[in-house]
Amino acid sequence: MTVHADSVSADTDAVLPPITDLRSALDRLRGVPGQLLETDHPVDPAGELAGVYKRVGAGGTVQRPTRIGPAMIFNNVTGYPGARVLVGLMASRERVGLLLDTPARRLTQRMAQAIENAQGPVVVGADRAVCQQVVYRADDPAFDLRTLLPAPTNTPQDAGPYFCLGLVLGSDPELGTDVTIHRLCVQGRDEISIFFAPGRHIDEFRRRAEQAGRPFPISVNMGLDPAIPIGATFEAPTTPLGYDELAIAGGLRGAPVELVDCATIDQKAIARAEIVIEGYILPGKRVAEDQNTHTGHAMPEFPGYDGPANPSLPVIKVTAVTTRRDPILQTLVGPGEEHTSLAGIPTEASIFNALHAAMPGFVPEVHAHTAGGGKFLAILKCDKKTARDDGRARQAALVAFGVYSELKNIILVDTDVDIFDTDDVLWAMQTRMQGDLDIITIPGVAGHVLDPSQQPDYNPALPTKGTTAKTIFDATAPYRLRETFQRAHFLDVDPRPYAPDLNLTYP
């Protein structure tokens, strides 16, 4: 699906204005009841803001009580007159569908199509770059990140204030350009630490620059058209080393992402961003992530735990901050549903495309479940038509593991199971699976360092942190017994005349 101008809502026939940046995305949400909440009540960015949103709409793997709810804009941030902070823009699959002009359960296919329709970014002049309407240079003695931008401290245990939705753009003269989201902790007036999970392409660019003794110029782009951060979270092999993920956002919108030359460094920035931080990752310099607080913790990560503070992280030396007038700082609650949208929907699309190429039509739907933060748990719907398909279902799981290395568990279900309904998936596991026959484990495979069970302290057989056993839970009915596993079929009746107040849909 390519959208060039006005678009049609994912759930209605109403024509909606196009989304070109964060503000037009917010305007769209304002027209849909229950999707955006603005408050003028004072909120402290140190712990309080995230604590509020935990109960309003974070969802995901956040400690209960939590829920899926509206995005929120805080217009009265303590200590930052005039500042606004947005949280939860993509913290529901329904809302992402609304923002990407697609029904929520078809987002996998929409993202998969965007890869095929990718359009590379274009460079525009500074006169078209709203991200540079206001420029703060770090060589000004009054410059101080800590007072300029209201970066939230999510919990009392955090190492410090974090930019949680900063899209880092970097390039290598031989390998190309990469954009990825990393945790960024404010360490001083003009310094930010940056954490790279193993295998990130932009970290390879940084390493090559460091080996050559060169500072590595990067821009940190915040407050974006949601198509950009969602498109940026694809990983190899879908997006190999040097692939510019901004092209996927171009495929989603049917128009290229606009870039502009940075104001103080030789790098590009996203022209319609709300806020851009410009700077260099310094060669050879490292800091402890919690050097200012000594809490031992970093921030809440997507598995639902406080990540340990890293004792030695690279440092971004900030040269400038550029913004729109009255900028909106966008953030997220790390373990929340927003991470599932950002990481999980691209994961689904990568697996879907690979399976379609390997066994066309056999896996019509893929769901990267929020219990795994969009990374650890996938559910595959398998369309069995012959006895041979019993084995093909398990082969599909192996293909998925090969496509997305951070997957830990895969659940296979039949086509009569709703993969977006956890109760339905658990029902299939209870009635179509025997542990000694239908659970397959693959030990000693690379996983993800932020899973606390993936370390030798948990399992001494593991050689290093970030190594895991991967598991296939085959909850599909054996083909030869398919008649035994037929669900009870009810008469299909339009319920709307009987319950008009429930706003039900039919069919």
If you compute the radius of gyration of the chain from its CA atoms, what whole number of angstroms results?
A: 23
Burial class, 465, CB count within 10 angstroms (exposed 0-12 / middle 13-18 / buried 19+): middle
Name the β-bridge partners of 77.
Answer: 43
Token pair for 235: 């990983």
Active-site amino acid positions:
301
Indicate left, alpha or beta for 176 from its phi (over 0: left) and psi (-120 to 50: alpha): left
**How far is it, in rounded angstroms, from Cα 280 to Cα 190?**
11
What's the DSSP call for residue 69?
-
- Find where tokens 């009635």 sit: 431
Helix (H) or strand (E) holding 134: strand 134-137
113-131 exposure pattern, b = at least 16 Cβ within 10 A, e = fewer: bbbeebbebeeeeeeebbb
**CA max distance for the chain:** 76
Name the β-bridge partners of 178.
Answer: 170
**How far is it, in rounded angstroms, from Cα 366 to Cα 277?**
36
C-beta of residue 219 within 8 angstroms of C-beta of residue 276: yes
Which of 299, 330, 334, 344 is closest to 61 using CA atoms? 334
C-beta of residue 45 within 8 angstroms of C-beta of residue 153: yes
**In 41-129, alpha helices (H):** 48-56, 93-99, 107-116
C-beta of residue 149 within 8 angstroms of C-beta of residue 274: no
In this structure, how many other beta carbons lie within 10 angstroms of the beta carbon of residue 387? 11
What's the DSSP call for residue 229?
H
Name 488's Cβ contacts closer than 8 Å, sequence gap at least 6. none
Burial class, 280, CB count within 10 angstroms (exposed 0-12 / middle 13-18 / buried 19+): buried
The sign of the dihedral angle between the CA atoms of 422, 427, 430, 433 is negative
Token pair for 123: 């460079």
